[in-house]
Every structure is written in C-alpha cells, then in structure tokens.
Amino acid sequence: MTHPIARIICALALLLAPGALAAQARTPEQVAQAALRAAPVFDGHNDVPHALREGYGNVIADFDFNDTHKSPAVDRDDLGMHTDLPRLRKGRVGAQFWSVYVSAALPEPQAVVAVLEQIDVMKRLMARHPRELAFVTTADEAAAAMRQGRIASMLGMEGGNSIGESLAVLRQTYDLGVRYLTLTHNKTLSWVDAASDAPQHDGLTEFGRQVVREMNRMGMLVDLSHVSEATMMDALDEAKAPVIFSHSGARAVAAHARNVPDSVLTRLPANGGVVMTVAYPLFISEKLRQWNAANAGEQARLKSLNPGDPEAAAKLAEAWRAANPAPVATVADWADHIDHVRKIAGIDSIGVGGDYDGIPNGPVGAEDVTGYPALFTELARRGYSQADLEKISSRNIMRVLRAAEATAASMKGMAPLETPAR
C-alpha cells in the first residue's frame, strides 16, 4: 500500500514536470501564436488585384504596398485598403491566393482580356517586392517560400466568364500560373448556375462538366464559392480531386445563398475538399442579413409612400436606421461558422478565405488582414488544439493542393479535352 505522503509527492512531481507546466500555462493566445508560427495562414481569397484595377487602373508606379491605409478602397469611401505587406505580417499570413477577379457583367471577350490584365498587374506587384512575395504555382514551391519567410503567392480566377467559354483559354490561364477557378461569380453563365442569380441549368451543363474534368487533368482547383447548390452537387459528382470554397460560410449559421448548405458539407469529407471560411459580415451574421433585408424593404416602402419626394424618403429612411441600428458582426460570428463546418464535415474540411479588399469591412476584431490571430485565439478559447488550428490555418489547403497535383499526375497520359472553336 502506497503511503499518502508518497502519493502527494508523485502528484506534485507530475504537476511540476516541464510538459505539464507548459500545458497548464498556455493561454488561448499562446496556443494560437504557436499554431501560426508552425503553420502561418494560407488565405483562400484576397482582392488586392481588384483594388488595383478600380483604384489605379492597374498603373501602379505610385502604389505603395507598404502602406495602403490611404489607398483607394473598393466598396467604401472613408477608409483605405485592408491589405499591405506590414499588415499581412502582423496577421501571420504566410501564403495567399490573390483573386484576379473581373466583373461578371463584362462580355466574355472583354473578360478574357481583363483577366489577363489582372494576372499581369499582380505579377508586376510581386516582382516589385521579391523579398516579401514569391510567385508560386505548386504546393512544394509554396512550402519553400514560407520557409524562406516570404509570402507564397498564388493566383485564383474568380468567375468562369474569364475563360470565354473556351477550354483553350482555361489551359492558357493555367500556363500563366492560375491555380483555381471560381466557376462563376454572381451571374449564371451559359454553362453554370450561380448562387445569387436565377438558375438556368439545374447546376452544370455538359460543357461545365468538361471544365471540371479539364481542371482536374491540369491540377487547377475547382472553386465552388458563388455557385448554386445544384452546381456544387454536380461538381462533386464530377470531381476527381478535392474542391475548395475559397471564401464561403456555413448556410446553417447564416442563411445567405453564398454559403454552403449542410447537404454539401456532408459530402465534403469523401471528396477531401475544404471550406475556406469568409470574413464578410453579411455572410457570417444572420442577424445582419435579416436587418439588411428589413432596411431594403423599409427604403422601398418609404419611396412608395413619398413619390416625387426622394429627399423626404431618404430622411425617413435615415431616421429608421437611427432607431434600428444594424447588428455588428464579430470574430465570434466567424468562429461559429468554423464550429459548424467542423461539426458536419470535420476538422480536415476547414480553411480561411477572408475576402479582404473585396468586401466593405471585416467583422469587429478582424477588420483587416491583421485579424487572423484574433480569430485563432477565439478558436483556441473554444477548445481547438494547436494541431486543429494548424490544419485550419494552412495544412488542410496544402493537403488539397498536393492532392490536386497528384490527381493531375495520375492523368498525365490523358489528352486535353477538345471543343470546336466558336
């Protein structure tokens, strides 16, 4: 029989062991910091190229990427951009998909030209900052750049109008370094239904399926943000490689059509893909989404009640907003989406895709790209382990990249899909 004093000594020894002390001492902030040191954030979607087009016409000789606090911003007038090199460092961003987005309203021939211009301007920006940014096209190159302390920079195209309904154009953008295509943006195209436009095809047409197959053959990631639920399902049916949602939330948490429904989340583990959770307040806060609809309805009502007097309608709408202030989305709302994706699809199905510089503002606590440590601290506070956080920050998306590359390697003997020139 062990003496009581001996048991107490053993217990004290265990408590005083270095590992035990370290585990006890680690705060959520320390867990998050350790995770982001080991696996810096690989963000799925940033719209700096769009800001360069809208704010500078892609003439960037006077653009200072070391400080964009006063640079022209997209969708808001009073603040600068969300992204610059010092803030990326502060946000612990180690790799970034830069979105070479062009407007879905452009006719397809113009969209093809515009996306080439966006690829060009981003490459020029990276060439101006070779110590900070590394243009990469593979998972190995991204890992090497991150080890060097540079921000691994990949390109993603947002919107299938950018390929002009041509697999040849798709292949050429891959050769230029583009590594994902969002099948469409906010507009239903001739071959794919969008989430926020009237459906025409019940998902993908046969050409849309060919796009997915050709992307798999090359090793380009299929991005299902912005597409309809039927399109998501069709793409999962067709895909041989993991898909991504470069900047989306969970529809069960905030019922915006841009978010991913549970019917799709349940299929994601079998595919191996990831939802890179978005920061946009309108997508992450159901309360804000409901308020936004109520505000739009009230404005329409007041205009109808005050025909010919828009000034009176505007004043009354302003008074309504003063009496009914908009709810505020926070980092906790963002974390709620991550919680839900983990519940339905598992920890291996989660990443982050802030959509910074493509949205008016981020949530409170993560207003710009410096906010990732706050998000990861919130997750650590909810019980996520360091290993969990490392998967979310970059290990999951790196696995997806490698899987897409492996799928392409397995299809190396397959000839490119041929379609007649139009």
User: Which residues are part of the catalytic machinery?
Assistant: 45, 47, 158, 185, 226, 247, 355
In this structure, are residues 379 and 372 in contact, taking their beta carbons and an 8 Å threshold? no
Show the tokens assigned to 406. 């492996």
Question: b or e along 313-336 (b: 16 or more beta carbons within 10 Å of the residue's beta carbon)?
Answer: beebbeeeeeeeeebebbbbbbbb
Give me the phi and psi of 315, to 5 degrees please.
-65, -40
68: Cβ–Cβ under 8 A, 6 or more apart, which residues?
80, 81, 83, 84
**Amino acid (one-letter) located at 107:** P
Cα–Cα–Cα angle for 50, 56, 62, rounded to 5 degrees: 125
Q: How far apart are CA 64 and CA 87, in angstroms?
A: 13
With CA atoms as reference, report the closest residue to 236 among 277, 283, 183.
183
Phi, psi of 361 (to 5 degrees): -160, 160
- Token output for 371: 């906010």
CB of 355 closer than 8 Å to CB of 349: no
The length of the chain, given as a count of residues: 422
End-to-end CA distance of the chain: give it in Å, rounded: 89
CA–CA dist 166, 395 (Å, integer):
33
